[in-house]
Amino acid sequence: MPGASDQPLSGLTALVTGAARGIGRGCALELARGGADVAVVDVQHADEAAGIVEEIEQLGRRAAFWQADAGDRDRMRRVVQEGVERFGRLDVAVANAGVSVRQEFLDITPEGLETTLRPTMYGVLWTLQAAGRQMAQQEPRPGRESRGKLIAIASIHAEHPFKRSGSYNMAKAGVAHLLMTAAAELAESKINVNVIHPGWIDTPGERQHATEAELAEAAQKLPWKRLGRPEEIGRAVAFLAGPGGDFISGSVLRVDAAQIVSLAPD
């Protein structure tokens, strides 16, 4: 069991959407390793979510699972309320849930667009709005200024127009701008608001669009010759959630091993 000095998030409570697998799983586990109790939220993958809860409990932290659609505003308000009733307060909220329906621009359909935007953009708004309202009415923990940390997992898709990802590009760009607005509005309430832009991360969702061989081949074209790992995004989240992130708000942290800057022509 890590010592107290190894757990900068000790005593904090966090909520993570899309937490059953992929980046969300990495975030939930790294927050728990840092000492936080975690509300695990996912609309699917209940069996995997139960496994995450068990892993967090094995780390000596409290955890519980809520099956919820992040794109449902009323449901996310209830999840936050129930989480506070269970854990006492909410210190960190990570809006990670997302879906990418890949279509050519001329072929984008209302159904594909809505399937992407509901969790990926609306879900961020409803999750962090509910969390932010809770944080605004609670006092900072003793010795701390911040009332809470709001973190959105956006993407380098917010910065670069990757082909066949128009709906996803649109959603992630919207998330990044939305969170900058929230940071400006919530600064007086001492609520930190930040965005993380992952690069290409090795997640189960990537297997919906490519084979293992195709992913391995594509990875060799990246600057570090590999895809990122979910726990690497989780560590960035844990940093922002901890004391190191106390004076950081309105920022975008890119975690992509130079993928975006390497796209520039020589």
Which residues have a catalytic role annotated? 155, 168, 172
Q: How far apart are CA 186 and CA 183, in angstroms?
A: 5
* Contacts with 52 (C-beta within 8 Å, 6 or more apart), sequence order: 19, 20, 25, 28, 29, 40, 63, 65
Residue in 59, 30, 24 with CA at minimum distance from that of residue 43 = 24
Q: How far apart are CA 247 and CA 244, in angstroms?
A: 8
Half-sphere exposure of 128 (CA within 13 A, CB side): 31
Burial of 20 (0-12, 13-18, 19+ CB in 10 A): buried
- What are 206's two structure tokens? 């990537």
> Rg of the chain over CA atoms, in angstroms?
18
